[in-house]
Structure 1
Amino acid sequence: MAAAKKTPAKRGPKPAAKKTTAKKTTAKKKTAAKKPAAKKAAAKKPVAQPVVANKVVAAAEKALEKANLVVEKATEGLAKAKEKKATVAAKARVSKTAATVRQLDAAKAGLAKAQANLAEAKAAAKEAAFNLKLAGVEGSIDSVKEKSAERVTAFAQGLEEKKAGDLEKALASFEEKWLLTREKANVRKVKAFQKKEETKIAAAGRKIKTKISALKKQQAEKLKSKPKARKAKA
C-alpha cells in the first residue's frame, strides 16, 4: 500500500513541465507577431531624404529662435544694468563714500558685461539667421534636383512611348527611299542588260546572215550542177 501512495507523487511534476512548454510557445508566438513591424519600418525608407532636409531647416529655425531669446534676455539685462548704474551714480553724486564708489565701479563693470553679452547674442543671432538662410538654399537645391530627376524620368518615358511610332515612321521613310533608289538602280541595270542583249542579237543576226548567204550559195551551186548531170545521162 505504501508503494501505491508514492506513485502519484512522482507523476505530479509532469503537468508543470507541460505548462512551461506552453509558456514558451506563447512567447514564440508573440515574438513572431512583432515581425511585421520591421517590414513597416523598411517601407518608410524612401521618405528618408526629404525628412532629413526638413530636419536641417527645422534645426536652423530652432537655433534662430534660441538666439533671439538670448538677445531678448541680453537686452533686458542691459536695461537693468543701465538702471542700476544710473541709481548708483545718483547715490555717488550725493555721497562719495568708498562703498558708493565700489558700487559704481561694479555697476559700470556690469553694464560693460551686459553690453558685451548683447553684442555677442546679436552676433550669434545673425549667424543663426545666416544658417537658416543657407539651409533654405540647400533645401531649394534639393528640390531643384528632385524636379530635374522628375523631368528626366518624364522625358525618358515620353521617348519610350514614341519609340514604336518613330520606328514605324523611320521604316516607312527608309522603305520609300530604298524603293526609289532601287527603282533607279533597276532602270540602270535593265538598260545595261538590254545593251548586252542587243549586242548578242546583233552578233546572232550577223551569224544568221552569214549562214543564210552560205545556204544560198550552196543552193545556187546545187542548181547549177543539176542540168549538167541531166546532159550526161542523155
Structure 2
Amino acid sequence: MTTPPKPPRRQQQRAINTRQRILDVAGQIFVKDGYRGASLTEICTRAQAPKASLYRHFPEGKFSIAKTIMTDTLSMDGLQPQRLKLQEVVDIGMILAYRISNEDAMEAALKLSFENDAPETYGTPWNDWSAFNTGQLTEAQERGELRPFVDLAEQADQLAGCWSGIVLISKTLDRDMSGVERRMSRYYMNFMDSVAIEDVRRQLDISTGRGAALMRAFYEGNSDEGDGGAGLDE
C-alpha cells in the first residue's frame, strides 16, 4: 500500500495564514461588538475566507473561534524562570501588559472574559490565573521573599483583578492601550512595596519596558518554531 503524498508546503502555509487571518479579524470584531454581536458573515467577509473554509478550521463557528482566542492568546509565552520568584510574578503581568498593547487578540480575549455568559460558553481564564498567581506567591513565600502574614489567595485574586482593571482604565482614559505598560509598572511597584521583603524588593526589575524585552527574547529564541505557548491552566 502506497503512502499518500503530503500536502504541498505552500498549501499548508495558506491554510495556516487563513486560520490566523480569521482569528485576527474575529478578535477585532469581538472587541467592537462582543461575542453575541459578532457576525460570522462579517468575519468571513473581512477575513476574505468562505464560510466553508471558516468551518473547516473552526467546526463550531463563532464558539470555536472565541474558545481558540481564549486558549491560544492567554499563554505563558515569554515567561522565563528567574532567581527570584517574585520577579516571575512581575514578569507575567508586564508581558501581558505589553501584549495587550500590541495584539488585537489579547484585547479580544480580555473583553470575551468579561462577557456575562463566558463561563458557561467558551470559558474564562480568571480562575486559572488566580490559581497560577497563588502557586507563584506560595513558592515566593517558601523562599522567604514575602513579608510575614501575606494572605496568598487574597493577593492572587487582587493581582488578577487589578491587572484587568488597570487595562480597562487605560483604555477608557487614553482611548487606546498606550499607557498600559506605564500604569502596570507603577502598580507592580506599589504591590511589591507592600508584600516583598525589602532586600528582595530592591532587586526586582519592574521597569516599563520589562515585558517588551522578555517578548523580544522569546520571539528571537522561537523564530524558527511554530508552536504556541502553554496555557494558563497547564
TM-score relative to the length of structure 1? 0.19
Report the structure number with the largest CA radius of gyration. 1
Structure of higher RCO (CA pairs closer than 8 Å, 6+ residues apart) = 2
As a proportion of its length, which structure holds more helix?
A: 1
